[in-house]
Amino acid sequence: MRRHRKIKIVATLGPASSDKATIRALWEAGADVFRLNMSHGTHADIAARHAIIRQIEAEVGRPIAILADLQGPKLRVGVFAGDAADLAEGQRFRLDLSEAPGDASRVQLPHPEIFAALEPGSTLLVNDGKIRLRVESCGADFADCTVTVGGTISNRKGVNVPDVVLPLAALSEKDRRDLEFACDLGVDWLALSFVQRPEDVAEARALARGRASILSKIEKPAAVKAFDSILAVSDGIMVARGDLGVECPVQAVPPIQKRLVRAARSAAKPVIVATQMLESMIESPMPTRAEVSDVATAIYEGADAVMLSAESAAGQYPVQAVATMNAVAIEVESDPVYREVIEASRKVNRRTVADGIVSAAREIAETTDIKAICCFSQSGTTASLVARERPRVPIIALTPLVGTARKLCLTWGAHCVLVEPQERFKGAVLSAARAARADGFAGTSDFIVVTAGVPFNVQGTTNILRVAPCDERLIFRADPE
């Protein structure tokens, strides 16, 4: 059942899913990628979960991707004399750098960078937007505000500043330590929080030094505005709807999601839709109908992956949450309307030989009785280009590099297979035929499409396509040398 599902499932690990039996059950229920949240748990906790995933990977004989999600800088108010204070709509309230405990008239905001960026009229959101402040006047060490939405404000609640680009790096000192630790462990993807500009991604890429692919989380209005330039320098995208829904009007999030998914698809870069997808399953064995529709919407949009956060990390029903997401995906992808929507939203973007090859592979596969498109890839680019086409037939991504196989676990439709390095195209065709037969995609009498780059083992050289039989005798007969 797993191999017929095109969209991938990302499951976050945490206290409810840290033992081997549960992680194995999550994989069997449909998880393709495991997310390690660097905001929670020690390095020892993260390393233990990483080791368990790799043990399971060896046992099941299938590549599994691991995504380390960096926390990003956390902006918080200070503490209050009574641990909390009540703010009424219309009253004045000051934020400053003083370490004195706060009260109903003021509190510390220990981030001079925020004061440097604020202007009169800027909005400050506290505690996920439950309290809203409008800046009336500000300086290097203070901001005098009017409370526009009141409520109880308490110790160290988070602060969002949606109106301005903050002069803060996306990587805090903790993030830098976590990045180095995760790369040394051998994770496949790094999710970068608090992205505001392409330079944030460039900084993370320089620190990663090719040890992991960079996935940019789009969770700030500044990132939405600069999305095209951020996408250009990223390896993948996460539509992080949690903070995005705090900093943007909630009604703006669905159009933003659609726009980002389409742009990432067009760029042949994987895109994850994340946050609150099955939120009620933290406490309930059944999701709401609205949540099921939300998951289905992301699938109809053609996202590469959907993600579970607290549902699988801290909820009471982590395995059921993955199983539910898996079941929804299978049901949607079997709907004839799904193909109509996917094909109507396919954006033709053919500028290179590789673009033409993968487009031709899809056309041939869909107009004849072809069972699978088999693509050889060193870096994963060929498989990603084939996935951009969203073909009706399975995609078998063959690579001699375990890192590439794992990375592609996040890519729509990619069934990743490790093979021996190839020197000649005939060997590649034989490997493809064997993989298609071994994994149940085709029988001896069936045909497949094989794409590859010649010479082999060189990135970015996709230049050949062949319709090949799965019967090895016919392959040798056609190419005896």
Whether the CB-CB separation of 161 and 124 falls below 8 Å is answered with: yes
d(CA 270, CA 306): 11
Query: Could you give the CA distance from residue 112 to residue 139 in angstroms, rounded to a whole number?
Result: 10
Catalytic residue list contains 352: no
217 flagged as catalytic? yes
Q: Is position 76 annotated as part of the catalytic site? A: yes
Catalytic annotation, pick one of 12, 123, 275, 411: 275
The whole-angstrom separation of Cα 184 and Cα 187 is: 8
How would DSSP label each residue in 328-340? HHHHHHTSHHHHH
Q: Which of 2, 54, 74, 76 is catalytic?
A: 76
Give phi and psi for 325, each to the nearest 5: -60, -40
Q: For residue 280, what is the DSSP state?
A: G
Q: In what order do the strands lie in the sheet with 370-376?
A: 414-418, 395-399, 370-376, 447-453, 462-469
Catalytic option among 5, 62, 94, 217:
217
User: Which run of H or of E encompasses 92?
Assistant: strand 92-96
d(CA 69, CA 273): 14
Q: What 8-state DSSP symbol labels residue 412?
A: T
Per the residue annotation, which of 5, 6, 24, 35 is the catalytic one?
Answer: 35
Tell me the backbone φ, ψ of residue 155, rounded to 5 degrees: -55, 135
**How many Cα neighbours within 13 Å face the side chain of 165?**
12
Cβ–Cβ under 8 Å, residues 404 and 378: yes
Residue 30 has φ and ψ, to the nearest 5°, of 135, 0
Six token digits for residue 208: 């990663």
Return the active site residues: 35, 76, 217, 275
